[in-house]
Structure formats: C-alpha cells, structure tokens
Amino acid sequence: MHSLKTRIQQDGIVLSDEVLKVDSFLNHQVDPELMKEMGEEFCRRFQDKKITKVLTLESSGIAPALFTALNLGVPLIFARKRKSLTLNEDILTAEVYSFTKQETSTISVSKKFLNQDDHVLIIDDFLANGQAGLGLIEVVTKAKASISGIGIVIEKAFQNGGELLRDTGYQVESLARISSLENSTVSFLEEEVTV
C-alpha cells in the first residue's frame, strides 16, 4: 500500500534495528484518512472470502480493524488483554507471550460474540514474532469458528512471525512489509506493483 509506505518513510522513527515507532499515525495519534484507506485495502484483498466478523487485539489493532469491519459491513470484536473479572465463565482465552516486552498476557473474547457459524478476519497493527496472531487464531479455533484470513498493517519481515502465520496455511496479507531497519533506514521487502 503505497500511501502507508510513504507515511512510514516520512513519519516513522527507527528506534533500533528491531523497532519502528509510528505513534504519529497508528499507535498513539491515529490518522483516520489512512485508517479508512487501510480498511478499503483489507476489504479488497479479502473480497473473495466469506467474513462475518473482524477480530483484533486491543489497543492499536482497533483503528484499522474498525474501518475494515465498516467496509465489510460486519461487527468488530477486540480481544481484551486482561481477563474480565465479571466474565470468567463465558470467555475464550489464549496465552500470548511478547518477545518484545518479555511478558505473557491472557487474551480473552466473550463466547457470546464468536460461534461455529462465524468466518473471522483477523487484523493486527504489527506482525513481529507472530504470537498475537497465533493467540487470536487459538481463540477463533476454540469458538469452533473458521478463519477467513489474517490482515497485518506493518509486518517486520526480518522477524519470524510472518513465516509462523503463513505456515498455518491461512491467507496472510500485510500492507507494508519491512525487510530491514538497519542504519536507521526503513527498507521494504517488495516494490509496489502499479496497475
């Protein structure tokens, strides 16, 4: 997605060889126009799939996922990162380990919002080590719902999450795939194909 790559080049801050800061348009301040475009692009990439729900993980996945859900005309569910005290018996959970933060969190979704008739598109903002994506897949599987695909805003292709998620066999679409952050420079994996 050309506009996203341009925005990353313009406003992204390379914090280290591993971490890209994009808090001016995605992770803190959010650009609605860019989110709208992302929603349209995810919708286009998964247009052949039957989708009844969009699922993301709070908090930064919510903005792009909401615009995707709006375009598809389906509800958005965001998995919570902490167990709800009031919903202990009726939740689907998965353990997600963050290599970046070196901590495990339990993500949860209420059973009443996902069931075996659902076809779920998973959306997330970053794909690094793939643990959030795998956790969301586990939640959908526990609900006996099916997975229509996985949409990622920014994939750090030099980490192993992309391979892990693609090995599941589901369609994985990333709007920007970063091959390297070395020398404080953002490099993308493939050139934009213009049609």
If we measure between CA atoms, which residue out of 69, 66, 61 comes closest to residue 132?
61
Q: Does 98 bind ligand G4P (CB under 6 A)?
A: yes
61 labelled binding-site residue = no
- How far, CA to CA in Å, does 44 sit from each of 49, 90, 120? 10, 34, 16
63 labelled binding-site residue = no
Q: Does 153 bind ligand G4P (CB under 6 A)?
A: no
Task: State which of positions 115-134 bind ligand G4P (CB under 6 A).
Answer: 125-132
71 labelled binding-site residue = no
143 labelled binding-site residue = no
38: exposed, middle or buried (C-beta count within 10 Å: 0-12, 13-18, 19+)?
buried
Residue selected from 1, 14, 20, 38 as contacting ligand G4P according to rule CB under 6 A: 20
Contacts for 12-17: CB closer than 8 Å, 24+ residues apart: 12/186, 14/181, 14/184, 14/185, 14/186, 16/181, 17/180, 17/181, 17/182
Q: Does 47 bind ligand G4P (CB under 6 A)?
A: no
Q: Does 78 bind ligand G4P (CB under 6 A)?
A: no
Which span sits near ligand G4P by CB under 6 A: 1-9, 29-37, 59-67, 72-80? 59-67
Q: How far is the CB of 112 from ligand G4P (least distance, A)?
A: 24
| Nearer to ligand G4P (CB atom), residue 56 or residue 71 | 56
Residue selected from 24, 70, 74, 99 as contacting ligand G4P according to rule CB under 6 A: 99
Distance CA(39)–CA(44), nearest Å, equals 9
Residue selected from 3, 11, 21, 142 as contacting ligand G4P according to rule CB under 6 A: 21
145 labelled binding-site residue = no
Residue 21 makes CB contacts below 8 A (sequence gap 6+) with: 12, 13, 14, 15, 27
- Tell me the residue type at 170: Y
Residue numbers at the binding site for ligand G4P (CB under 6 A): 19-22, 27, 57, 59-61, 98-101, 125-132, 156, 161
